[in-house]
Amino acid sequence: MEHLREEYDGELDPASVDSEDPLGLLTTWIHEAEQAGLSDPTAMCLATLGPDGSPRSRMVLCKGVEGTTVRFFTNLTSDKASQLQADARASLTFWWPDMDRSTRVVGHVTPLERAEVEAYFASRPRSSQIGAWVSDQSSEIEDRAALEAKHVSVHARFEGQDVPCPPHWGGFRFHAQEVEYWAGRPARLHDRIRLRFEHGAWSPSRLQP
């Protein structure tokens, strides 16, 4: 792997980072990644903390940026949900490789209201709705055949009717306290601009690459 090298050619205009709207540029970058045809432009790595302080991360999809918050959905009995219920601190990292851009957001989560979860669940494709009932996410299962058998039985259970939102399915609103925008540049002299919420206001700083 040592021979693998990428030259970056991005740029970050400090004027595009707005202290009055710290996640505004994140929204812009997601839209630009979508317009450029990148796959999964809303994918983000969510890091959480275990009870002994050990970190754990996994990919999830961003399902909305509103003000200084980001929302995502998941199974409430999953490892990530259990960790977030015990310790709300978390971090999100987006990466759009073909655009030489990344964004990291640090903060904490609160659970989404049930009505918001149910409204989003109703908008999902039926196959995803059924999948949410099939999977006890992050629990062990003996083999693939057992999972497929569960799928068949959930299909039969909801035959001819709408699939309701499972009680174990939900989501979180992530509240940002720090945001960092990164743009890869030649010679590893990347641009990094961080916004931190301190003393009631967002203050920007440029960080060394």
Ligand X SMILES: Cc1cc2nc3c(=O)[nH]c(=O)nc-3n(C[C@H](O)[C@H](O)[C@H](O)COP(=O)(O)O)c2cc1C
**165 contributes a contact to ligand X by CB under 6 A:** no
Q: Which of 101, 173, 185, 188 is catalytic?
A: 188
| Length of the chain as a residue count | 209
Q: Does 188 qualify as catalytic in the annotation? A: yes
**87 contributes a contact to ligand X by CB under 6 A:** no
Largest CA distance in the chain: 60
**58 contributes a contact to ligand X by CB under 6 A:** yes
Of the two residues 56 and 206, which places its CB atom closer to ligand X in the complex? 56
Q: Could you say which residues in the range 105-164 bind ligand X, by CB under 6 A?
A: 137-138
Of the two residues 17 and 46, which places its CB atom closer to ligand X in the complex? 46
The only residue of 21, 32, 34, 79 in contact with ligand X, by rule CB under 6 A: 79
Of the two residues 21 and 116, which places its CB atom closer to ligand X in the complex? 116
**47 contributes a contact to ligand X by CB under 6 A:** no
- From 13-21, 78-86, 99-107, 187-195, span contacting ligand X (CB under 6 A): 78-86
Residues contributing to the site for ligand X (CB under 6 A): 40, 43, 56, 58-61, 72-75, 78-80, 137-138
> Which residues form the catalytic set?
188
